[in-house]
Amino acid sequence: MKMNTLHLTNSQQDIATAAAVLRDGGLVAMPTETVYGLAANALDGNAVRRIFEAKGRPMDNPLIVHIAEIADIERLGLVREFPETARKLAEAFWPGPLTIIMDKGSVIPDEVSAGLSTVAIRLPSHPDARRLIRESGLPLAAPSANTSGKPSPTTAQHVIDDMDGRIEAVIDGGACDVGVESTVITVATDIPRILRPGIITREEIAAVIGDVEVDKAVLNKLENNERASSPGMKYKHYAPRATVILVRGTDEKFIGFVNRCQKRDGNVAALCYTEDIGKIDAPVISLGSENDQKQQAQALFDALRAVDEIDGVEVVYAHCPSADGVGMALYNRLIRAAAFRVIDLPDKRIIGLSGQTGAGKSEVAGMLRELGAGIVSADVAAREAVEEADVKAALCAAFGDVLNPDRSLNRARVARIAFSSEKNLKTLNSITHPRIVEIMLRKAAECEQDIVIFDAPQLFEAHADVFCEKIICVLSDREKRLERIVRRDNLVKEEAELRMSVQFDERFFIDRSDSIIYNNGSVEELRARVKEVYGGLSDG
């Protein structure tokens, strides 16, 4: 049923109207200093149930009760007991963006606590929120006023975008100062524990109450069998339509990576710092200054919503903040927006080495190693990748039982199936390539050398090219290649020709590389050319 949502200002008269709506069991979106909240009478289970319906929120995710005075906690019997630690936190940080979880009082309906024995309470500092709570005379249950799963709203317009026609009213109090939701801490555990980071940091809390833990789910993905201490942590969150990927690495590596992705795919955007904007060739959304994490928090959700307004963007690379101080709150939101997809860019100069089979790529790799480069072989990484349990499971799911009696992978069998059709080969690659690249990046990070060669026949097919600041390809004449393959792999001429026929042609490699090494002459000539190309790398 669609209703007419009232668009209210924060005038005294409008606040009075909104308070009356709440007393009648209706829903009002209100500004708070963190994000907009979707409020209902916290003591009325029916009113609260409507919040879940409007947001499409799972019923097992409890709500925060908002109050206007610390004294309300005991006056209204919201908790079973108001522990000393909670009192200290309240006095230090309220009014403000901290939510404290305590054992709940009997007046709290099950809808608010989602059946838990605890309740979350917060005293916001936003003047409009406090006026509304006072004027209504009620404690207000309020989650963020977004559709469940979308970024939290930080302006009245965001609320209207999600909730228009589903709630009675929204009060426009301008843009929220903080921009990320409150820090949630429970004191119902032996040692107080942060369940959601916000701009009130762990360090600030520790200065008031001493010992404080950070829940594992704040920075890590929970395994399927792990219970979330805070139910909200288990849901995909803050996600725009485009795929978000968190990228860890220096400014320089991040910029280079995004630019190469854009050049190759043309459908990417970057979520980055103002300092980087002019250097990125893809559409950018700024998170604010690199050195101002509070500004980044304020901009974060608006930025995530803005992603969907850029036409044609399918992947957004977000430059990963460090996870300390306020950064922990940013990291926690971004990693959920990214559904825990993270790319670690090694602080190395990665050079791609590819080319046609039989052209002499391995010889070139050996010579580069002698010249001082680290070598990361895709073939070695591939052998490791296919022995990982989840990769093996995916291969069995796709191709049937492809394991040996000792549970190792029957590689000959996989190869036979994969090369029997183009579709099977695609399936194999889609399972193995991402893992191979991940392993190669990890090995690159572990290399002692500053220059690391990605020795990869399928550099381009595996999309490993975007990690390479330069690409070298080795080519040689058809007859020479044929001869080498026959000798190297013990094949008859026809088999070798068949292998060569599925390869990309010379043009493909020439178009995609910075240097070509032709290997048609002597070993000495090859070594001289490799040296020349290697020397060119240090010229940047």
Distances (CA, A) of 38 to 57, 153, 167, 525: 12, 10, 9, 73
- Rounded to whole angstroms, how far apart are CA atoms 210 and 417? 60
Is residue 427 exposed (0-12), middle (13-18) or buried (19+ Cβ within 10 Å)? Answer: middle
CB 64 to ligand TXA: min, Å: 5
**Residue 121 found at the interface with ligand TXA (CB under 6 A):** no
Distances (CA, A) of 56 to 35, 81, 164, 324: 18, 32, 14, 32
Inter-residue contact 122 to 65 (CB < 8 Å): yes
**Residue 143 found at the interface with ligand TXA (CB under 6 A):** yes
- Rounded to whole angstroms, how far apart are CA atoms 334 and 321? 9
**Residue 197 found at the interface with ligand TXA (CB under 6 A):** no
Q: Is 474 helix (H, G, I), strand (E, B) or coil?
A: strand
Q: How many other C-beta atoms can be found within 10 angstroms of the C-beta atom of residue 488? A: 12
**Residue 144 found at the interface with Mg ion (CB under 5 A):** yes
* Closest residue to Mg ion using C-beta atoms: 144
Beta bridge partners of 29: 38, 170
User: What DSSP designation does 242 have?
Assistant: S
Q: Which is nearer to Mg ion, 41 or 152 (CB)?
A: 152
CB 237 to Mg ion: min, Å: 7
CB 58 to Mg ion: min, Å: 12
The stretch among 38-46, 142-150, 519-527, 532-540 that binds Mg ion (CB under 5 A) is 142-150
Inter-residue contact 152 to 181 (CB < 8 Å): yes
Q: Find the binder of ligand TXA among 122, 131, 193, 333 (CB under 6 A).
A: 122
**Residue 144 found at the interface with ligand TXA (CB under 6 A):** yes
Inter-residue contact 343 to 246 (CB < 8 Å): yes
CB 58 to ligand TXA: min, Å: 10
The stretch among 13-21, 143-151, 343-351, 416-424 that binds Mg ion (CB under 5 A) is 143-151
Q: Find the binder of ligand TXA among 40, 51, 64, 402 (CB under 6 A).
A: 64
The stretch among 203-211, 227-235, 419-427, 488-496 that binds ligand TXA (CB under 6 A) is 227-235
What is the side-by-side strand order in the sheet with 118-122?
A: 6-8, 169-171, 28-30, 37-41, 140-141, 64-66, 118-122, 98-103, 183-186, 193-196, 213-214
- Rounded to whole angstroms, how far apart are CA atoms 285 and 271? 5
Q: Find the binder of ligand TXA among 182, 201, 286, 515 (CB under 6 A).
A: 182
Q: Which is nearer to ligand TXA, 195 or 456 (CB)?
A: 195
CB 341 to ligand TXA: min, Å: 21
Inter-residue contact 300 to 319 (CB < 8 Å): no
Q: Find the binder of ligand TXA among 8, 15, 18, 37 (CB under 6 A).
A: 37
- Rounded to whole angstroms, how far apart are CA atoms 29 and 36? 7
| Residue 460: half-sphere exposure toward Cβ, Cα within 13 Å | 16
Q: Find the binder of ligand TXA among 68, 73, 101, 472 (CB under 6 A).
A: 101
Q: Is 374 helix (H, G, I), strand (E, B) or coil?
A: strand
The stretch among 20-28, 144-152, 364-372, 465-473 that binds Mg ion (CB under 5 A) is 144-152
Q: Which is nearer to ligand TXA, 19 or 472 (CB)?
A: 19
**Residue 40 found at the interface with ligand TXA (CB under 6 A):** no
**Residue 148 found at the interface with ligand TXA (CB under 6 A):** no
Q: Is 500 helix (H, G, I), strand (E, B) or coil?
A: helix
| Residue 122 touches which member of Mg ion, ligand TXA, none, C-beta under 5-8 Å by kind | ligand TXA
Positions touching Mg ion (CB under 5 A) are 144
Positions touching ligand TXA (CB under 6 A) are 32, 34-35, 37, 61-64, 97, 99, 101, 113, 116, 118-120, 122, 124, 142-144, 181-182, 184, 195-196, 230-232
